[in-house]
């Protein structure tokens, strides 16, 4: 196995629980897809091959831990409706929203879904994403949920690690009038999809326009029986107590959380559940209620951020913009935002082998035209990626 040394860069390791872990003239030794050594260039071990970084900035690869990347159609008309005064919930109650994307997704072939999702994944990769979570949830029948998850798995061919999440409990499909009967079906389908190796985690939408905590609990019981970890779209539009429910199942993450209560924060802190904040959805829906960042910090709840790419509430394909928005809209520090899209994003997916630049971790990293990672959080609408390294391989930038 050949060892390649990258040397002469500003390396932001994010080692430890706080601080940037900056090495001013730093180097990384990569072998077999892993980081074998990270430290000052002057102390670097011998290598078969050397890449000069010429003072460029090196960070962990970005982890986008919450996306709905696979779907048909688009919802730009709802953007217009919201600007004319309709709310996201009004549109959903009138049969639009998620259900409109369900109709377009059911009508799309696997090849069409793959082609559209490939373009979106390429846009994320072009900004440095090396790990990508993709949810189902626009099929809401077994065949289309399966198709979505198969397409998500195929995105791995682009040179990105893909984690799939089963989100059939996203909305009530038109052919069901009884939500409990639909939840029975959601639980039934999960067994086959899990046996087929298509599911890494299970998610649900706990909200007054979606499913109740009791219904979500039944989905989580089914996940638990199969040994699958859970996550939750929780307290996005109202406080349903979803965070406490999810923490009771030791959920990997609760996501959105604008209406998270102090009791929810305590439960998440005790369970080690990550708070995934989604500034794209907050921005696009013109929300005014902020997630309780100071209280999350104080309770020691790890904070992640993600694009939440979807055609309705967050049609963004820019993780770099989310770094900036997490700071400007939610008041995260640039370091918190970076940890949110690296090490804590990985944790929200149950992954401990990435997100920091330390020996033993996967060799997933980005080389940027810049001198300090805070520059990337301060800037927006600009992509200074020079090189993206995935499992030790240089790819497209």
Under rule CB under 6 A, residue 313 binds ligand NIG = yes
Query: How far is 238 from 214, CA to CA, in rounded Å?
Result: 16
Cα torsion 374, 375, 380, 382: sign: negative
CB 137 within 8 A of CB 102: no
Q: Which of 105, 310, 316, 342 binds ligand NIG (CB under 6 A)?
A: 310
Q: Which long-range contacts (CB under 8 A, 24 or more apart) does 46-50 make?
A: 46/3, 47/3, 47/4, 47/5, 48/2, 48/3, 48/4, 49/2, 49/3, 49/4, 49/5, 50/4, 50/5, 50/7
**Beta carbon of residue 309, minimum distance to Fe ion (angstroms, whole number):** 9
Residues 180-219, mask of contacts with ligand NIG (x by CB under 6 A): -------------------------x--------------
Under rule CB under 6 A, residue 98 binds ligand NIG = yes
- Residue 61: name the closest of 321, 355, 337, 359 by CA: 355
Between 264 and 370, CB nearer to ligand NIG? 264
Question: 98 touches which of Fe ion, ligand NIG, none (CB within 5 to 8 A by kind)?
Answer: ligand NIG
Q: Which stretch binds ligand NIG (CB under 6 A): 215-223, 268-276, 299-307, 308-316?
A: 308-316
Query: How far is 355 from 201, CA to CA, in rounded Å?
Result: 19
Under rule CB under 5 A, residue 161 binds Fe ion = no
Q: Which stretch binds ligand NIG (CB under 6 A): 239-247, 296-304, 306-314, 340-348?
A: 306-314
Residues 221-260, mask of contacts with ligand NIG (x by CB under 6 A): ------------x--x------------------------
Question: 161 touches which of ligand NIG, Fe ion, none (CB within 5 to 8 A by kind)?
Answer: none
Between 258 and 308, CB nearer to Fe ion? 308
Between 59 and 67, CB nearer to ligand NIG? 67
Query: How far is 3 from 137, CA to CA, in rounded Å?
Result: 42
Under rule CB under 6 A, residue 101 binds ligand NIG = yes
- Residue 232: name the closest of 261, 247, 80 by CA: 247
Cα distances (Å, whole numbers) of residue 261 to 201, 205, 298, 315: 25, 17, 14, 27
Under rule CB under 6 A, residue 281 binds ligand NIG = yes
**Beta carbon of residue 129, minimum distance to ligand NIG (angstroms, whole number):** 18
Q: Which of 308, 335, 336, 387 binds ligand NIG (CB under 6 A)?
A: 308
Between 89 and 379, CB nearer to ligand NIG? 89
Side-chain-side CA neighbours of 11 within 13 Å: the count stands at: 24
Query: How far is 201 from 199, CA to CA, in rounded Å?
Result: 6
Residue 97: which region, alpha, beta or left (left: phi > 0; alpha: psi -120 to 50)?
A: left
Question: 131 touches which of ligand NIG, Fe ion, none (CB within 5 to 8 A by kind)?
Answer: none
Q: Which of 145, 207, 235, 308 binds Fe ion (CB under 5 A)?
A: 308
Strands laid side by side in the 129-135 sheet:
62-64, 129-135, 161-169, 201-204
Cα distances (Å, whole numbers) of residue 183 to 47, 130, 214: 55, 33, 10
Between 283 and 379, CB nearer to ligand NIG? 283
Please identify the residue of the shown chain whose CB is closest to the bound Fe ion: 308
Question: 168 touches which of Fe ion, ligand NIG, none (CB within 5 to 8 A by kind)?
Answer: none
Under rule CB under 6 A, residue 41 binds ligand NIG = no
3-state DSSP call for residue 10?
strand
- What would the two tokens of residue 241 be? 């107590």
- Residue 108: name the closest of 117, 121, 98 by CA: 117
Q: Which stretch binds Fe ion (CB under 5 A): 306-314, 326-334, 365-373, 378-386?
A: 306-314
Q: How many residues bind ligand NIG (CB under 6 A)?
A: 14
CB 43 within 8 A of CB 386: no
Question: 97 touches which of Fe ion, ligand NIG, none (CB within 5 to 8 A by kind)?
Answer: ligand NIG
- What would the two tokens of residue 230 be? 């859970």
Q: Which stretch binds ligand NIG (CB under 6 A): 2-10, 20-28, 45-53, 93-101?
A: 93-101
Query: How far is 368 from 58, CA to CA, in rounded Å?
Result: 6
- Give residues in contact with ligand NIG (CB under 6 A): 68, 97-98, 101, 205, 233, 236, 281, 308, 310-314
Which positions touch Fe ion (CB under 5 A)?
A: 308
């Amino acid at each position: 196995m050949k060892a390649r040394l990258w040397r002469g860069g500003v390396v932001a390791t994010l080692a430890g629980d706080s601080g940037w872990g900056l090495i001013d003239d730093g180097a990384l030794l990569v072998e077999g897809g892993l980081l074998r050594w990270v430290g000052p260039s002057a102390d670097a071990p011998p290598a078969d091959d050397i890449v000069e970084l010429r003072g460029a900035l090196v960070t962990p690869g970005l982890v986008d831990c919450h996306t709905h990347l696979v779907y048909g159609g688009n919802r730009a008309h709802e953007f217009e409706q919201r600007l004319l005064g309709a709310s996201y919930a009004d549109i959903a109650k009138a049969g639009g929203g998620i259900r409109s994307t369900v109709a377009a997704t059911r009508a799309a072939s696997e090849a069409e879904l793959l082609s559209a999702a490939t373009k979106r994944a390429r846009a994320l990769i072009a900004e440095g994403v090396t790990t990508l979570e993709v949810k189902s949830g626009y099929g809401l029948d077994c065949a289309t949920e399966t198709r979505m998850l198969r397409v998500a798995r195929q995105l791995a061919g682009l040179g990105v690690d893909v984690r799939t999440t089963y989100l059939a409990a996203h909305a009530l499909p038109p052919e069901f009038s009884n939500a409990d009967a639909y939840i029975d079906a959601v639980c039934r389908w999960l067994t086959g999809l899990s046996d087929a190796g298509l599911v890494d985690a299970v998610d649900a939408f706990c909200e007054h326009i979606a499913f109740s905590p009791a219904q979500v609990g039944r989905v989580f019981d089914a996940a638990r029986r199969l040994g699958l970890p859970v996550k939750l779209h929780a307290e996005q539009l109202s406080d349903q107590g979803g965070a406490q429910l999810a923490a009771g199942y030791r959920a990997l993450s609760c996501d959105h959380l604008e209406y998270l209560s102090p009791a929810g924060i305590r439960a998440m802190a005790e369970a080690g559940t990550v708070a995934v904040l989604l500034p794209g959805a907050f921005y696009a829906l013109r929300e005014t209620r902020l997630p309780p960042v100071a209280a999350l910090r104080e309770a020691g709840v790890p904070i992640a951020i993600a694009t939440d790419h979807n055609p309705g509430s967050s049609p963004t394909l820019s993780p770099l913009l989310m770094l900036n928005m997490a700071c400007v809209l939610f008041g995260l520090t640039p370091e918190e935002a970076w940890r949110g899209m690296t090490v804590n994003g990985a944790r929200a997916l149950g992954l401990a082998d990435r997100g920091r630049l330390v020996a033993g971790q996967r060799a997933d990293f980005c080389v940027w035209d810049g001198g300090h990672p805070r520059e990337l959080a301060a800037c927006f609408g600009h992509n200074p990626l020079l090189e993206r390294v995935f499992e030790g391989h240089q790819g497209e930038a």
